[in-house]
Amino acid sequence: MMRRVRPARAPSRVSATVFALALACATAVAQAAPVEYRIDPGHTDVIAQWNHLGFSNPTAHFGQVDGTIVYDADKVAASSVQVTLPLSGLNSHVARFDAHLRNADFFDADVFPVATFRSTAVEDLGEDRLKVTGALTIKDITRTVVLDAVLDKAAPHPRNNRPTIGFDATANLLRSDFGLGLGAPAVSDEVQLRITTEAQAAAAD
């Protein structure tokens, strides 16, 4: 006597719906949303370096940096950075020179107390390298500056488990483009910027 073989049951609409929801959830997890990080001024430094009469290459540091970094690992072009540099944090380790940098010959810090940078485009160059194009404003003069950046690390911070990110970046600019050209070209017009920064996501509610 032959046994009858029952045909396979078609998946129910309920099962199909559950599967679709599970797939959507898995996709959402795989494509993480952009994260906004707050710059940590205690672990951020912007260093300007120039040549002095061919004899030396002094530096000045811009501390007390404030700003945010939005980073999207899945879509790097959606990332952005916004930074404020208070000139009160400028430090060349020479007090008399710091006073000169803040007066009207250079930054005129009483009138223009901060410099700002706001990105306009972020390009993924591969291998954790980024090209960050943005608008740098000093003394109400805005010029386009390109940062060559490297993602140092993105991971939970070992002290508080918050998402944390770190970058190093470099850029070259002409100080005369920002009304800071006193002494050029004997003192080099070109200035190299070196930036290192660490930023943390806000604490979860």
pLDDT of 30 reads 41
Sign (positive/negative) of CA torsion 115, 95, 41, 43? positive
In which band, very low, low, confident or very high, does the pLDDT at 25 lie, cut at 50, 70 and 90? very low
**Residue ranges covered by each domain of the chain:** 35-201
Give the homologous superfamily in CATH for domain 35-201: Lipid/polyisoprenoid-binding, YceI-like (2.40.128.110)
Considering the chain, what percentage of its residues have pLDDT values greater than 90? 82
139 secondary structure, DSSP code: T
pLDDT of 28 reads 36
- Backbone phi and psi for residue 55, each to the nearest 5 degrees, phi listed first: -90, -35
pLDDT of 33 reads 79
pLDDT of 64 reads 95
Give 67-112 as a DSSP string.
EEEEE-SS-GGG-EEEEEEEGGGEE-S-HHHHHHHHSTTTT-TTT-
Cα–Cα distance for residue pair 24/31, rounded to 1 Å? 11
CB contact at 8 A, 46 and 64: no
pLDDT of 14 reads 46
Give the pLDDT confidence of 91-134 residue by residue, as tens digits: 999 999 999 999 999 999 999 999 999 999 999 999 999 999 99
Average pLDDT score over the chain? 88
